[in-house]
Structure 1
Amino acid sequence: MFNAEDIRQDFPILNREVNGKPLIYLDNAATSQTPQQVIDVIVDYYTNYNANIHRGVHSLSQEATDAYEQARIKIQKHFNAKYAYEIIYTSGTTHGINLVANGFSSLLKAGDEIIVSALEHHSNIVPWQMLCEQTGSKLKVIPMNQDGELVISEFDAVLNTNTKLVFVNHVSNALGTINPIASIIEKAHAVGAAVLVDGAQSSPHIKADVQALDVDFYVCSAHKMCGPTGVGVLYGKEEWLNKLPPYQGGGEMIAEVTFEKTTYADLPHKFEAGTPNICGGIAFGAAIDYMNTIGFETISNYEDELLQYATEQLNNIEGLKIYGTSKHKTSVISFNVANIHPYDIGTLLDKMGIAVRTGHHCAQPIMDFYKIPGTVRASFMFYNTKEEIDQFITALKKTVTMLS
């Protein structure tokens, strides 16, 4: 049986106070907290077998290499990639997106078209704008509606044989909307376009099966999944990864180097130049183990309870407006109250020990669509509780009274 109070004991940071108040952490869409089980893996690495990986003949190097590559296999199995070498370690989601964008700079030409959605994080907008500037390709956008959902009929209208790439997030970081990526992938493939899905916000809540989705690229970050910062993965189909040129040159990504010519290593090392975040990769594997022990169906069901409970409570506050009202959401709520600036609300909530995110959440086009400067965003994980939500609501009402 799932018990959030028991789970909370795994997270030492949840026992601390902020401004003299018990911490209520509702900024999980920015980064999740790390359980002791993952912290122990990090400490164990630096205490017992810290060494550089691959090609080392000494014991520490071999131990580190084995742990790092075993973590890659854990990640492969979690996302159901066909091969472990289709899992490329990165520094995070942004790195993975830029790796793919850089690769396609040699594959696109003027007149080709790229489609992104109106719900994207800046990391899934700016690299494609840069790619269009480099290649002469055109960027087109799937619009959104007032509920924070994509207008799929408009996607159908702009999709054509000139479309070479489609990029969409699985879940909106600003609104929590779950996008219909299976349908988008199928339609894109019908015209010969490749698809990259940004899984940064979905991966803590939804266990994506990349083979079942038939997606060409899928990216995510460990720090959204109870792991450390500075590490993530890019999944890519083998045939696409073989088509793309290396993103960076250096050690590890080579097969042979002379001053006349260099040949590149096979996958996955072709895209993993330099000494990687070894400990981060190992800890990412441990974080995936931890979350799978709880179970993603269990996590999703519980977080949906929190989402519905918090939504009901917030809707009882006069003048409060929630942005992103799709029926298909993860545990993210963005809102504003009357004419109060979101920054002011966030600042006062922090004084009461409550951590929320304020601003445009690196999704400025969404804020422009709603004609607002930003929102207050409360985001929940499986270690949050209804009692915390009650305290958050009480503090928010007090904050609104103070600022009105």
Structure 2
Amino acid sequence: MYEKIIDKIRLNFLSIKNSEKKKYIYMNNAFLSHKPNNVIKSQINYYINKIFYIKKNSFINKFGFNINKNIEDVRKKISILINSNIEEIIFTSNTTNSINIISNIIKKNLKKDDNIIISISNHNSNILPWIKLSKKKKIKIKFIKIDKNGNLTINEIINNIDKKTKFISINHISNVLGIINPIENIIKLSKLKNKNLLFMVDGTQFIMHNKLNVKKMECDFYVFSSSKMFGPEGVGILYINKNININIKKIIPWEFEKGTLNYSGIIGLGESINFINKIGIKLINKILLYNTKYFLNLIKENINNSIIYYSSNNSRIGIIPFNIKKINSYDIGKILEYKNIFIRFDSQCSLYLMKFLNIKSLCRISISIYNNKKEMNNFIDIMNKIIHILKK
């Protein structure tokens, strides 16, 4: 259905052309995405033209001014992408860095016996800072489980909220399960129960293929990173609602952006947003939903003894977590790697979820808009050969 469009999209990636020559198949996009040619070109142009060091906000020459203008242009692009005000966008080094900044912001408002609510499906970087904070401030952590379909139980969230609940942090899409959480509804109901709590959303796996409206969502914090949305590594984005209900200074980006920023990375992020806008977020979403459904059914129908976690959930996009009965996920992943197919095969930086699922690790396929049916079919053929070998 979308194969001709996908073929055209693939032409925008020199790395994919190189992969085709080497017969590589990359299916670990929840970790890092390929970078389109316009992003790579922006990095080359930056370093060719950067002839000496210029600090941000230093207007000593024309080049210094252009850098600042470029950075602010990207800030504006992000604000348009997520429907925020420009001054609510802060550049960090990655999502983990953004979460740690938030931890430092909210800790001043926490008192002994207050509580924080987080999901067991959160990435480790969205769990460990809160555990550390709980020990330091002597507050309680409440973990929200997922139901038999892999969904967060909204009633459980609401029932755990009380007058001492100060903060909730949940992922928009699980980096392991690929299931989209109904964040808008969760935030609305949570704040009806306790209007003073603060809500953070980890949008790292959501931002590259779904339309986002933080004003409509009414979250207090939203975090994501460039590297998952076709942009360079080393750039994180932190949104802070200017109307946040907390005792801090007025939200001003440069109050948080200390030292030298990753100028080249931010400029590259601006180009990745141009790439996303050129294709259109709606089309990106349709392609990925179609590919996810196709690949999921392909695995169900053609790989015996596969365990696809929460396979019946229709709110999944881009990510397929699986194991094969009686075969170690590490063995599968390493042989796939040897066969030039790259997925992720470990605890997925989600130890609490692994414990909940009663497993130590799993295999995770994560596809993007440039993965085609040929790659998916090749995956199935090689997987069956691997299973045949390992079952002996």
Contact residue 198 and residue 245 of structure 2 kept, 8 A: no
Q: Tell me by how many angstroms 1:386 deviates.
A: 1.1
Structure 1: which 5+ residue stretches go unaligned?
246-264
Q: 2:362 aligns with which of 339, 361, 375?
A: 375
User: 4+ residue runs of structure 1 moved beyond 6 angstroms?
Assistant: none
Percent identical among aligned pairs is 33
Q: 2:109 aligns with which of 104, 107, 112?
A: 107
Q: CA RMSD in A?
A: 1.7
In the TM superposition, 1:245-256 aligns within 5 A as none
Distance in structure 2 (CA, Å) of the matches to 1:151 and 1:185: 13
Q: Tell me by how many angstroms 1:167 deviates.
A: 0.5
Q: Secondary structure at the match of 2:121?
A: coil
Question: What per-residue deviation string (whole Å, max 9, x for no partner) do you get for residues 24-46 of structure 1?
Answer: 11000111110111011111111
In the TM superposition, 1:112-261 aligns within 5 A as 112-190=114-192, 191-192=194-195, 193-240=197-244, 243-244=247-248
In the TM superposition, 1:4-403 aligns within 5 A as 4-17=6-19, 21-49=22-50, 51-81=54-84, 83-190=85-192, 191-192=194-195, 193-240=197-244, 243-244=247-248, 267-316=252-301, 317-325=303-311, 326-403=313-390
Q: Tell me by how many angstroms 1:132 deviates.
A: 1.1
Distance in structure 2 (CA, Å) of the matches to 1:335 and 1:319: 10
Q: Tell me by how many angstroms 1:17 deviates.
A: 4.6
Q: Secondary structure at the match of 2:199?
A: strand
Distance in structure 2 (CA, Å) of the matches to 1:356 and 1:146: 25
Q: Secondary structure at the match of 1:16?
A: helix
Query: What is aligned with 1:250?
Result: none
Q: Secondary structure at the match of 2:243?
A: helix
Aligned residue identity for 1:309: Y
Q: 1:244 to 1:393 in 2, by over 3 A?
A: farther
Distance in structure 2 (CA, Å) of the matches to 1:57 and 1:17: 44
Q: Report the number of matched residues.
A: 383
Q: Tell me by how many angstroms 1:57 deviates.
A: 2.0
Aligned residue identity for 2:60: V
Distance in structure 2 (CA, Å) of the matches to 1:277 and 1:89: 9
Distance in structure 2 (CA, Å) of the matches to 1:368 and 1:315: 25
Structure 2: which 5+ residue stretches go unaligned?
none
Q: Tell me by how many angstroms 1:242 deviates.
A: 7.7
Contact residue 105 and residue 134 of structure 1 kept, 8 A: no
Q: 1:392 to 1:319 in 2, by over 3 A?
A: same
Question: What per-residue deviation string (whole Å, max 9, x for no partner) do you get for residues 340-372 of structure 1?
Answer: 111111111112111100011101111111111
Distance in structure 1 (CA, Å) of the matches to 2:107 and 2:323: 40
Question: What per-residue deviation string (whole Å, max 9, x for no partner) do you get for residues 138-160 of structure 1?
Answer: 11011112322112221121112
Q: Secondary structure at the match of 2:345?
A: strand
Distance in structure 1 (CA, Å) of the matches to 2:264 and 2:242: 26
